[in-house]
Amino acid sequence: MGDHHLFLKPWGGIRAEDWYDWKWQFKNSLRTVAPGAVEIDGSPWLHKELLSVTETYPFRVTPYYLALMDLSDQTDPLRRQCFPDPQEIHFSLGGVDDPLGEQCDMPVPGLIHRYADRCLIMATNVCAMYCRHCNRKRLWGRGPFAGTQAYLQPMFDYIRGKKEIREVILSGGDPLTLSDRSLAWMLASLRSIPQVEVLRIGSRIPVVMPMRITPTFCKMLRKYRPLWFNTQFNHPREITPAAARACEMLLEAGIPVSNQSVLLRGVNDSYGVMQELLYSLQRISVRPYYLFQCDPVRGTDHFRVDLWKGLEIMEKLWRNISGLCMPRYVVDLPGGKGKAPLQSFSFLSANNMNSSEHFFDKNC
Ligand SMILES: *Cc1c(COP(=O)(O)O)cnc(C)c1O
Ligand code: SF4
C-alpha cells in the first residue's frame, strides 16, 4: 500500500461509562474506511481501493480494539488483522470461499456436523470485528442472520434426533454479539437435550470487546456448565488488562478458557512473538489449544505462512517452553476432511535415523 498512513479521526469526549459499555462499543464500531471516517494520507485512490475491498468483505472494528493499534503503522499486527488490504481482492492465488466444504457438512442450514460426537452451530454471521483472515469471511456479505428462533429451532431438533452428539459448539460469526437473553435461550434449549453433555462457545469477544463479559453474563453462563470457552488471541499486545479481566471473570464462573490462534504472516509468524503470546496466555490462565494453519480461503492469501516455517517455529517452541504453553499445530484439510495435526518428527531426522541407539542413549 505504499507509504500511505491511516489517521483516525478522534472521537470527542467519550465518557468512561460509555467506553466500558459493550453496547456502546458495538454501536460505535468503525464500519467504513470512507474519507472522513478514517483519514488516509492524501490518497484518494487508496480510499477507493479499500472501499472496493469492503464491498466484498465488510469492515468493522470496535473503538476498544482500534485504540490498541498504531494506526500510522501499516505493519502493526493488530491493524493488519482488521483493516482491509487490496490483496484481499486482487491477488487471490485461486483460493475458494469454502475450502473446508462446510456447506456440504450441513444437514440443516447453519449447523455443521463433521465429527460424530460434536457439532457446530453458526448462531449468527455478525461479529464485533471482521478479522481479515477469517475462514468464514464468505458469510459476512450476506444479510445478517442472527439468533432467531426460526433459524435455530431446526438445528436443535436435528441435535435432539442424533444420539451420538454429546457436545455442541456455539460459533458464528460471533455468538456474543447476541443478547444475554437469546444466548440464555439457546443454552437452555441445548441443555434440555439429554445426550448433550458439554457446551462450548467460540468467540473472539474477550479480544475485541472484552466489556461484553459482564458479571450478569457470567452468572447466566455459570448455570449451563460444563461449558467451555474458546477464544482467539493472536498477538501478545491483545492481552490487555481488560482482556485479562474478561478471561478471569469466565474462569471465576467455572468456565475453562482456551485459545485458538491462527498463524498469520506479519502478525505472529516468528518464534519471538509466538513465545511471548503463549507465555502471556499462561499468565492469565488461558490454555493454548490450537494453532491453526491459515486455511486456503479466498481473500486470505497474504496471511498464509509456509507450512515448513510453521513447523520450524513449533519445533523451537517445543524445545524451549513449558508443555502447558504448547498449542497443537493443526491444518483443516480441504474438502471437509477435518483437522489434522502437524508434527515435525525431528528426532527421526537423518542423523538420528542412522542410529536409533544414539537417540535413546540420550536418556542415560
Ligand atoms: C473444529 C471443529 C469442531 C471442534 O473440533 P475440536 O477438535 O473438538 O476442537 C467441531 N466441528 C467442526 C465443524 C469443526 O470445524
Ligand atoms: S470474530 Fe471469528 S468469525 Fe468473526 S471475523 Fe473474526 S475470526 Fe471470523
How many Å apart are CA 34 and CA 106, to the nearest integer?
37
- Count how many residues are written for the chain: 364
The tens digit of pLDDT for each residue in 73-131 reads: 889 999 999 999 989 987 556 678 888 888 888 999 999 999 999 999 999 999 999 99
Q: What is the pLDDT of residue 347?
A: 57
Contacts of 227 (CB under 8 A, 6+ apart): 187, 198, 199, 200, 201, 221, 255
> C-alpha cell of 349?
531426522
Can you spell out the DSSP letters for 226-250? Answer: SEEEEE---SGGG--HHHHHHHHHH
CA 207, CA 64: separation in Å to the nearest integer?
A: 10
The verdict on pTM exceeding 0.85 is yes
pLDDT of residue 44: 66
Instruction: Look at residue 335 in the predicted model and tell me its pLDDT.
Output: 83
Q: Which of 277, 269, 266, 185 lies closest to 231, judged by CA?
A: 277
Q: What percent of the chain has pLDDT over 90?
A: 72
Contact 96, 104 (CB under 8 A): no
Helix (H) or strand (E) holding 219: helix 215-222
Whether residue 118 lies in the annotated active site: yes
Q: For residues 251 and 34, which has the higher predicted lDDT (pLDDT)?
A: 251
Report the pLDDT averaged over residues 251-276. Answer: 98
120 Cα–ligand 2 center, Å: 15
**Is 173 a pocket residue for ligand 2 (Cβ < 6 Å)?**
yes
Task: Examine the residue annotation and report whether 332 is marked as an active-site residue of this protein.
Answer: yes
Q: Whole-angstrom Cα distance, residue 319 to residue 282?
A: 17
**Segment 206-233 mean pLDDT:** 98
Q: What is the mean pLDDT of residues 179-190?
A: 97
Q: Which of 18, 70, 118, 271 is catalytic?
A: 118
Whether 134 sits among the annotated catalytic residues: the reply is yes
Lowest mean pLDDT among 2-11, 114-123, 198-207: 2-11
Strands 227-231 and 198-202, sheet pairing: parallel
Handedness of CA 50, 293, 109, 128 (dihedral sign): negative
- Protein residue closest via CA to atom 7 of ligand 2: 134
Nearest to 155 by CA among 115, 111, 219, 199: 111
Average pLDDT of the chain, as a whole number: 89
Q: To which H or E segment does residue 342 belong?
A: none
Residue 176 confidence (pLDDT) above 70: yes
Is pLDDT of 4 > 70?
no
Mean pLDDT of the region 178-203: 98
| Smallest CA separation from ligand 1 atom 7, residue | 339
* CB-based contact 72:79 (threshold 8 Å): no
pLDDT confidence of 351, banded at 50, 70, 90?
low
Decide the pairing of beta strands 227-231 and 257-263. parallel
Top-confidence residue, 19 or 353: 19
Helices and strands (DSSP H and E) totals, the chain: 15, 11
C-beta of 136 in contact with ligand 2 (< 6 A): yes
**From CA 60, how far away is CA 54, in angstroms rounded?**
9
Q: Which of 4-8, 23-27, 92-96, 270-274 has the lowest mean pLDDT?
A: 4-8
Mean pLDDT within 197-213: 98
Choose which residue among 98, 136, 332 to substitute to test ligand 2 binding: the one with the highest number of ligand atoms within 8 A of its C-beta: 136
Q: Is the CB of 166 under 6 A from ligand 1?
A: no
- Which cell goes with 183? 444466548
- Tens digits of residue pLDDT in 305-327: 999 999 999 999 999 999 999 99
Phi, psi of 122 (to 5 degrees): -90, 90
Of 21, 17, 41, 39, the C-alpha closest to 30 is 39
**pLDDT value of position 7:** 41
Cell numbers representing residue 333 in the block: 484439510
Lowest mean pLDDT, pick from 255-269, 309-323, 331-345 = 331-345
Question: Is residue 2's pLDDT more than 80?
Answer: no
Q: What is the pLDDT of residue 296?
A: 87
pLDDT in tens, 13-59: 788 889 999 999 999 999 998 877 776 555 666 778 888 899 999 99
CATH number of the domain at 102-363, please? 3.20.20.70
Asked if pLDDT for residue 257 goes beyond 50, the answer is yes
| pLDDT the model gives residue 343 | 86
Q: In sequence order, what E strands does 41-108 have? A: none
Domain ranges, ordered by start, for the chain: 3-90, 102-363
Confidence of residue 8 (pLDDT cuts 50, 70, 90): very low
| The pLDDT of residue 1 | 33
Cα–Cα distance measured from residue 358 to residue 52, given in angstroms and rounded to the nearest whole number: 59
